[in-house]
Amino acid sequence: MARGWESKSVEEQQADVGEFSGGPKPRLSADQMMNQQLREGLLMSRNSIVQRLTSVQNPRHQKMLESALADLDAKISQLG
């Protein structure tokens, strides 16, 4: 009979989590972490602009958002 999560020992729970996460992640250098955080921030900003583009009514505002989106895409592609 299968045991519930509550009945597992702490070691078994940690082992289960380790199996799903794909093992230990490699340590990143400070530059790599900063680059990753910058990329994630740019991607979040990009998603926000894409969301706002779906509901924009004013053509000037739409043009401004499209320009901002192009700028973010260029910055994201530079990061690699």
Nearest alpha-carbon partner for 71 in 53, 38, 46 = 46
pLDDT, position 79: 86
pLDDT, position 30: 87
How far apart are alpha carbons 66 and 72 in whole angstroms? 10
Q: What is the pLDDT of residues 21-80, one digit of tens each?
A: 565 677 888 888 999 999 999 999 999 999 999 999 999 999 999 999 999 999 999 987
Domain residue extents for the chain: 28-80
For residue 38, give the 3-state DSSP assignment. helix
Q: What is the pLDDT of residues 7-18, one digit of tens each?
A: 556 667 666 665
